[in-house]
A = this chain, B = another copy of it.
Amino acid sequence: MHRPPRAFEEAEFAARCAAAQAAMQQAGVAATLLTSEAEIRYFTGFMTQFWQSPTRPWFVVMPLSGKPIAVIPSIGAPLMRQGYVGDIISWASPDEDDDGITLVADVIRQHVSKDAALGMLMGRETAVRMPLADLFALQKILGMPLRDMPLRDMTAAIQKIRMVKSPAEQAKLRYICGIVADVFEHVPEWLRPGMPLDACFRRFKMDALERGVDDVSYLVGAAGAGGYDDIIAPPTSTPVAAGDVVMFDTGCVWDGYFSDFDRNFSIGPPSQQAADAHKTLFDATEAALAMLRPGITAADLFTTMDKILRPGGSAGGDAGRDDVGRYGHGLGIQLTETPSHTAWDRTEITAGMALTIEPSISYGNGFVMVAEENLLVHDDHIELLSRRAPRDLPVI
C-alpha cells in the first residue's frame, strides 16, 4: 500500500482559508472565531492530542484576508509556529483571571468594525469550546450583549468546504481505510470462542497498530447470542461464545484522518434471522452504491436504503429512524462529519466527498445489526475505500 506523505503543502491551507474567506465576504462577516479542534486543525494544521486536556482554551481568528491569527496558550506556540498561521499571540495558560479573553477580544476588535458581523460556528455538529462564563466575558469586553451581537453562523459554509476532500486528503483516507480493511480481513485468524470481548478489542487494536495506523481512536462493538442490541458500548469481559454475532466498528486514524467502518462475524453457524439481516444490509448498501453519483442528495441515499431495509415503511419503533437515526455520514478529520444520510438532509453529493454507507436493521428479539462501508465520490465513479463486506455473514 502506498503511504502518502504526512502533513500538507502550504497551498492546501491557503486554499481552505481562501474558500472560508470567500464565504465570509458573501455573508458580510469580517472575521470568524474558531474554538474547536477540527476547525482549528483544518485551517491551520495544528494537530495534537493535547485537546484531550480540558484545561486551556484555544482561539483562532480567521480574518477576511491573509492567514489565520492564533490566540493560544504558550504551551502550544512551538507547534502552532509550524502551521499555516500569521500572528501567534500567546499567554501563560491557565490564568487565574483572564484566560486569553482580553487577547482574543483585541484581535476581534482589530478585524470587526462597528457595523460588521463576527462569524462563529453555532449550528449542527458544532460546540463552542470555551467556558460559557468566558463567552459572556468576551461579549462584555466587546460591548456586544450576546443576543444583540451581530453574530453570523458560519456552520453551513464551513461544513460545505470541509465536505469536499482535496487529493491529498483523499490519499490519507485511502491509506487508513486500506490498512483497516487488512485488519478486518485477518480477524478470522485470531477471533475464537472463549476470548473475552475486551481481550478481542485489545488484539484488534494491536493488530491495527502493527499494520501502521497511528491510533485506534474509536473501537466499539458487541457480541451476543443471536445478535446485539447496542452499537456504542465499550467491551465487557464476557467470553465470546458459539452462536454469538460479534461486531467491531472502528475509527482508526492516520495523520489525523479517520476510517469508519465495521464488520460482523458469526461464531459458528448464525441464526436464520441474523443471516437474513446481514443479506438485507448488503442489499441496501448495493442499492446505495448503484445510485450514488454527484448530483443526488444525502436524502436520496436514505430513501434508497430505507425502501430495502423497511419495505413496510419507517414509521415508529424500528432501527433506522428511531435508533441509529441515519444510514451513514461524511468522513474526514472527525469520526463523523456532515452530511447525514437522513430523510431530511438535502445536501448535494459532489465529487471529492468521503462518505460512509451505514444501513442498520432491527430483527429478532430487540437485536440491531449495522454494516458500514467507506468511499470516495468521483466525477465518474465511486471508489470504495473499505473492501466490500460479503453478502453472507462470515462464520468463524
Q: Mark A residues whose CB is within 8 Å of B.
A: 6, 38, 47-50, 52-56, 73-79, 92-96, 99, 120-133, 136, 145-147, 153, 155, 198, 201-202, 205-206, 209-210, 212, 214-220, 229-234, 236-237, 251, 256, 321-326, 329, 334-336, 340, 342, 344-345
Instruction: State the majority secondary structure of interface residues on A.
Output: loop
Partner of A146, one of B47, B48, B146, B201: B146
Distance between A231 CB and nearest chain B CB, rounded to angstroms: 7
| 15 A-B pairs (CB sep. < 8 Å) | A48-B220, A50-B220, A52-B335, A53-B334, A56-B325, A75-B325, A79-B233, A92-B322, A94-B325, A95-B325, A122-B133, A126-B131, A133-B153, A147-B147, A205-B205
Q: Is the CB of A99 within 8 A of B124?
A: yes
Distance between A34 CB and nearest chain B CB, rounded to angstroms: 13
Given A146-B147, A233-B48, A336-B55, A344-B96 contact (CB < 8 Å): yes
Q: Is the CB of A120 within 8 A of B132?
A: yes
Instruction: List B contacts of A323 (CB < 8 A).
Output: 74-75, 77, 92
The complex is assembled from copies of this chain, and their number is 2
Instruction: List B contacts of A121 (CB < 8 A).
Output: 132
Distance between A350 CB and nearest chain B CB, rounded to angstroms: 20
Instruction: List B contacts of A322 (CB < 8 A).
Output: 74, 92
Q: Is the CB of B125 within 8 A of A128?
A: no
Q: Is the CB of B128 within 8 A of A232?
A: no
Q: Is the CB of B122 within 8 A of A55?
A: no
Partner of A325, one of B50, B74, B219, B344: B74
Given A38-B54, A325-B56, A127-B124 contact (CB < 8 Å): no
Partner of A198, one of B95, B214, B229, B256: B214
Assembled-state Cα–Cα distance A325/B153 (Å): 33
